[in-house]
Amino acid sequence: MKNLFTDIPAHLPVELFETLVNASPVHIQRIVSKGHVSPEDEWYDQESNEFVILLKGAAKLEFKDGRSTTLGPGDWLQIPAHDIHRVAWTEEGVETIWLAVHYA
Q: Which amino acid is at 42?
A: E
Query: Domain residues of the chain, as ranges?
Result: 30-103
Going residue by residue through the chain, which has 104 residues, state the pLDDT in tens, using 9 for 90 and above. Answer: 999 999 999 999 999 999 999 999 999 999 999 999 999 999 999 999 999 999 999 999 999 999 999 999 999 999 999 999 999 999 999 999 999 999 99
Return the CATH number of 30-103, one of 1.10.1740.10, 3.30.465.10, 1.10.357.10, 2.60.120.10.
2.60.120.10
Residue 82 region by backbone torsions, left for phi larger than 0, else alpha for psi between -120 and 50, else beta: left
Query: How do strand 16-23 and strand 26-33 relate by DSSP bridges?
Result: antiparallel
Residue 18: φ, ψ to 5°: -125, 120
